[in-house]
Amino acid sequence: MRVVVQRVSEASVKIDGDVSGAIGAGLLVLLGIEDADTQADVDWLVGKLVKMRIFSDDEGKMNRSLQDIGGGLLVVSQFTLHASTKKGNRPSFIKAARPDHAIPLYESFIATAQKELETEVQSGEFGAEMAVSLVNDGPVTITIDSQAKE
Topology of domain 2-145, CATH: D-tyrosyl-trna(Tyr) Deacylase; Chain: A; (3.50.80)
According to DSSP, residue 82 is labeled: G
Q: What is the pLDDT of residue 76?
A: 98
Q: What is the pLDDT of residue 132?
A: 98
**Taking Cα atoms as reference points, which of 113, 121, 97 lies closest to residue 20?**
121
- Of 6, 38, 67, 80, the active-site residue reads 80
Examine the pLDDT at 149 and tell me if it is beyond 90. Answer: no
- Of 55, 79, 109, 126, the active-site residue reads 79
Q: Please give the average per-residue pLDDT across 121-150, as a whole number.
A: 94
79 as an active site residue: the answer is yes
Examine the pLDDT at 113 and tell me if it is beyond 90. Answer: yes
Question: How does residue 10 score in pLDDT terms, banded at 50, 70 and 90?
Answer: very high
80 as an active site residue: the answer is yes
- Of 6, 78, 112, 122, the active-site residue reads 78
